[in-house]
Amino acid sequence: MANLGSNDQRVLTTLKKSNKPLSAYDILDRTRSAALKAPVQVYRALQKLEKRGLVHRVEALNAFVACCDDHHGLHRPGFVVCRDCGVAREFEDKRVARVAEDAAGPDFLIETISLEIYGRCAPCRAAA
Amino acid sequence: MANLGSNDQRVLTTLKKSNKPLSAYDILDRTRSAALKAPVQVYRALQKLEKRGLVHRVEALNAFVACCDDHHGLHRPGFVVCRDCGVAREFEDKRVARVAEDAAGPDFLIETISLEIYGRCAPCRAAA
DNA sequence: GTTGCCTTCGTTATGATATAACATTACGGT
DNA sequence: ACCGTAATGTTATATCATAACGAAGGCAAC
Ligand SMILES: [Zn+2]
Ligand SMILES: [Zn+2]
Ligand SMILES: [Zn+2]
Ligand SMILES: [Zn+2]
């Protein structure tokens, strides 16, 4: 598979600099001066990055985060997301795969698992 | 809280008749002749129905399903979704809540949990 | 009853997310 | 150089969701 192109790297760098998930259009805004001019370029980069496990999509936010763990390669993380401050913390738990297999049954071929937990983080609760 | 209005019931009935998740615009298409004329009416109905646990949103599909279980009230189901045929099967597993609590930690207030499993169901695999 | 208030519902417009379709360029193999 | 393929750029469009405002309905105080 081809290496990362310059668009891909710009998108990845942008995500790594953010402590929150960014939408494709957030990324576009932050890279427009650099080189990216249209949504499709961002989406193409995101797709490539996601295939390699460098970026994850947070479904319920329509947004993307850089994987917090560079060495891992592809994996199936979950996310804990604060609705107030928007921070998304990636985690893994082996029990998730077992739950998924039990739910899907032996003849279902699992391709992806999305587990997202929403609520209020401790600092935000204290502040409120 | 107010009872279901006629729009709400039309939306719920439409979802119950479908064996797959429907987008808000799918619902709109199927109810336009009845009474619903604009997306916002569908979204308002869906919001009310979701609050009562009568429908669930499937995040990664941007779509909605009628709850398979009428008596339950509010609960936290997961979904097993076939990418080929689009069927979404609702399930529950108590282990999910424990995984979520462990991941979120004691000071995070969990509000919602979304667990969605994507892949190919047995009939679709056999057909392919 | 009618006035004022609040909630629901309808209508129009717009914002936000994502992809289709096609042109252009980059690049390796011959 | 020539071709075929993959990557990138460009324009347009499809899809999903909400803002803003007004009309209609219910309910209590007067
Ligand atoms: Zn990761
Ligand atoms: Zn927070
Ligand atoms: Zn349910
Ligand atoms: Zn299937």
Domain enclosing residue A107, as ranges: 6-127
pLDDT at B128 over 90: no
Residues A105 and B125: their CA atoms lie apart, in Å, by 13
Q: Is B113 within a domain?
A: yes
**A83 interface with B at CB cutoff 8 Å:** yes
* C1’ C22 / CA A81, Å: 40
Q: For the segment B25-82, what is each residue's pLDDT rounded down to a tens digit? A: 999 999 987 789 999 999 999 999 999 999 999 999 999 999 998 767 788 899 999 9
Q: Is B1 within a domain?
A: no
- Give the residue-averaged pLDDT of A89-109: 97
- Average pLDDT over chain B, rounded to an integer: 94
Percent of chain B past pLDDT 70, that is, above it, reads 98
Point out the ligand nearest to the CA of residue B74: 3
pLDDT at A71 over 80: no
pLDDT for the residue numbered A113: 97
Q: For the segment B49-65, what is each residue's pLDDT rounded down to a tens digit? A: 999 999 999 999 999 99
**A95 interface with B at CB cutoff 8 Å:** yes
Determine which of A80, A95, A109 to mutate to test the interface with B (most B C-beta atoms within 10 Å).
A109
Size of interface A-B (CB pairs under 8 A): 117
- CATH code for position A100: 1.10.10.10
Q: Is A1 within a domain?
A: no
Q: Is A92 within a domain?
A: yes
Q: Is B82 within a domain?
A: yes
| pTM value > 0.85 | yes
Residues A68 and A56: their CA atoms lie apart, in Å, by 10
* C1’ C8 / CA B108, Å: 35
Give just the sign of the alpha carbon dihedral B94, A104, A118, B24.
Answer: negative
Instruction: Quote the number of domains for chain A.
Output: 1
Residues B80 and B86: their CA atoms lie apart, in Å, by 10
A38 touches strand C (CB under 7 A): yes
**Which nt has its C1' nearest the CA of B8?**
C9
Q: Is B86 within a domain?
A: yes
φ, ψ at A109 (rounded to 5°): -90, 110
pLDDT for the residue numbered A108: 97
φ, ψ at B60 (rounded to 5°): -75, -10
> Strands A78-82 and A109-120, how do they pair?
parallel
